[in-house]
Amino acid sequence: MTTVRFAPSPTGLLHVGNARTALLNFLFAKKNGGKFLLRIDDTDSERSKPEYETAIVEDLGWLGIAHDLFARQSERTDAHRVAAEKLKASGRLYPCYETQLELDRRRQRQIAAGRPPVYDRAALKLTGEDRAKLEAQGRRPHWRFKLSQSKVRWRDLIRGEVEIDTAHLSDPVLIREDGRFLYTLPSVTDDVDFAVTQIIRGEDHVTNTAAQIEIFEALGATAPAFAHHPLLVGAGGEALSKRLGSLSLRLLREDGIEPMSAVSYLAKTGTSDAVAAHASLDELVAEFAVEKIGRAPAHFDPAELSNLNAKLLHGLPFEAVAARLASAGIDGGAAFWDAVKPNLARFSDVSDLWTLVKGPLAPIIENAPLIAKAAELLPPEPWDEATWSAWTKAVAAATGAKGRDLYHPLRLALTGREHGPELKKLLPLIGRARSLARLQRETA
């Protein structure tokens, strides 16, 4: 069974870069008939907040991403301890007593000497007596994983063949002095226990992968396949910061971006497919292939997303928005939606455009004699889309006005605006009584 996971830290609102990772995992799982695990990485008890966990679940739900499996790492510490003891017993997890200040000074000396700042494994030389003395002084150990100092190779599903020599890496710290686990060991342990088959994540984790593969093997497990996608960058190629509130899903949602606009954009940017609005996640699943994800950074351009959002709205049938229109108190039906949707950038714009139909609005009279004649020639109801053409021809014949000189004063009088929906569609919705009132300079 294909099983992938998304493991966000509940330390803030979900950022578009992390949302893209979640989406790629979700699409991969669904394309392969597998399961999507949402695993909350809350090992940092000081920064993790339950309200952020709730927000993550809600924001993924807004995108349409539902998890098949759920776990909190903070509730799996017993399993993490068992894994740690196994590594200690095999000699792969060893205690170190240096303080952060001592490590920083050692690193500075290495850099000054032109050597790479890699941990020198001094702790491995300590005897039992040495460790007892240090602990008698009040020191408590942190625990490092002993790397093999050999080359680790894997075939990345996006990057191809990757090789990292762990001799050039510091043995990673897996357990803090206070006994709390850092990210790596819980992550590997949970990947093993939940039988994760593929790990799809950002390329900033590539170097970590070598150490994690060795931890998988030290625990007697087979490492999953890995796929490291390029990170999301800004429109100009600049790095995105997840601490920028404008890039949170929550604010995109509040800004009126449709969920399918967001998922369409995040699923396609950085791939060989063109970025285009999709009507459903099923469409994206059908088109998804990890091989389509490029090696170049994927760009996130808010202006491009806004344009995509408008295109999506322009293509939505009335049935897709009927309930939302009713909730907004708009009862114009399919005729209203058909009239205004080409003018929408955000769905919330419909409320503003509804005032063109129901008012109240103050008409603007640009050419009083023309508007007076137009009022006289206003035809009786019933009206349809042909009414506008017949009426304006009659006004043109009576006044000699044509082109902008004809249409612009009529639009200003009927809508109070320079631009807007096609009047042939809007006029039957406004109705004769309200149209006449506006032509007669009445607020209606």
DSSP assignment of 286-331 equals HH--GGGB-SSPEEE-HHHHHHHHHHHHHT--HHHHHHHHHHTT--
- Return the closest-CA partner of residue 413 out of 391, 397, 398: 391
CB 123 within 8 A of CB 97: yes
End-to-end CA distance of the chain, in Å? 63
Q: CA-CA distance, 379 to 362, in Å (whole number)?
A: 22
CA 58: distance to chain centroid?
A: 12
CA 256: distance to chain centroid?
A: 14
Question: Is 163 strand, coil or helix?
Answer: strand
* Residue 246: per-residue pLDDT: 56
Give the CA angle between residues 290, 155, 82 to the nearest 5°. Answer: 100
CB 213 within 8 A of CB 199: no
Query: What one-letter code names the amino acid at 48?
Result: S
- Return the closest-CA partner of residue 256 out of 201, 207, 305: 305
CA 317: distance to chain centroid?
A: 25
- Count how many Cα atoms sit within 13 Å of the Cα of residue 305 in the half-sphere of its side chain: 25
DSSP letters, 43-108, are: --TTT--HHHHHHHHHHHHHHT---SEEEEGGG-HHHHHHHHHHHHHTTSEEEE---HHHHHHHHH
Sequence length of the chain is 444
Q: What is the mean pLDDT of each run of 10 residues along the chain (444 residues)?
A: 97 93 98 98 91 97 98 97 98 97 95 95 96 96 98 98 97 97 96 98 96 98 98 86 67 94 97 95 97 94 96 97 97 97 97 96 96 98 97 98 97 97 98 97 92
CB 175 within 8 A of CB 142: yes
* Residue 244: per-residue pLDDT: 47
CB 152 within 8 A of CB 166: yes
- Return the closest-CA partner of residue 42 out of 9, 20, 18: 9
- Phi and psi of 402, rounded to 5°? -150, 165
Distances (CA, A) of 303 to 235, 308, 328, 374, 419: 9, 9, 26, 41, 22
- Return the closest-CA partner of residue 308 out of 287, 282, 279: 279
- Return the closest-CA partner of residue 25 out of 53, 41, 2: 2
- Return the closest-CA partner of residue 65 out of 23, 14, 24: 23
- Return the closest-CA partner of residue 87 out of 194, 178, 175, 203: 175
Q: CA-CA distance, 282 to 280, in Å (whole number)?
A: 5
- Return the closest-CA partner of residue 288 out of 229, 328, 342: 229
